[in-house]
A and B are shown apart, each in its own frame.
Chain A
Amino acid sequence: DTEVTQTPKHLVMGMTNKKSLKCEQHMGHRAMYWYKQKAKKPPELMFVYSYEKLSINESVPSRFSPECPNSSLLNLHLHALQPEDSALYLCASSHWGNSPLHFGNGTRLTVT
């Protein structure tokens, strides 16, 4: 088991649906991340939050909307996704700066 919990583990959604991915950590980390991972590819950074503020947006389309309600929670709101957005979405957390990221086991998203 990881110390970063992601829900749901699997999600199937249509292109007109609105859904949210959730992530929670209780390690006192003040940096939280969303990564996207396609099959047989490395994780690709989407967003970085530092002290609950968005610090990096890697030119992610607006149909992905991150939210950090508090220091333990990170959400990713999804709306009007495309089939090519199907992937494993990974959440991670860390202390700020040169510290290892701790990953959850991801949400497997399928867009139909």
Chain B
Amino acid sequence: GESVGLHLPTLSVQEGDNSIINCAYSNSASDYFIWYKQESGKGPQFIIDIRSNMDKRQGQRVTVLLNKTVKHLSLQIAATQPGDSAVYFCAENNGANSKLTFGKGITLSVRP
């Protein structure tokens, strides 16, 4: 069936470095994508979103890239900080029914 997945289960980066978290999706009908951050004991927190008519969107210290040709989504975090340590999920929505499907998640660990 259709699925959203991530390439790596964990990512360890040095404080101050840039982080890149990747996600593959397989539903070609998906037209809206979101990145969430989840800290221990909390619900998922919205980071940034992108619609399928765009290939790049920037926020504060974060950039999301969308490559529809290869069905790939990435989240770039600039100057990674200890507070960025969390589990990150990509999620996709085909828009027709607001059914948001999450990928497997990746743990980002920031070394001081």
Contact = CB atoms under 8 A, between A and B. Distances in A.
7 A-B pairs with the lowest CB-CB distances in the bound complex, closest first: A103-B43, A42-B102, A98-B32, A100-B46, A105-B43, A98-B95, A103-B44
Contacts, number: 59
Interface of A: 2, 4, 31, 33, 40-45, 48, 50, 55-56, 90, 92, 94, 96-106
Given A90-B43, A103-B44, A96 B98 contact: yes
Interface in B65-112: 89, 93, 95, 97-105
Interface of B: 31-32, 34, 36, 41-46, 49, 51, 89, 93, 95, 97-105
Given A42-B105, A56-B99, A94-B98, A105 B34 contact: no
Given A42-B104, A100-B34, A2 B98 contact: no
Contacts of A104: 43
Nearest to A103: B43
Given A90-B44, A98-B51, A103-B43, A48 B99 contact: yes
A31 B101 CA distance: 16
Given A42-B89, A55-B97, A56-B97, A101 B46 contact: yes
A23 to B, nearest CB: 11
A2 B37 CA distance: 13
B87 to A, nearest CB: 8
A45 B45 CA distance: 16
A66 to B, nearest CB: 15
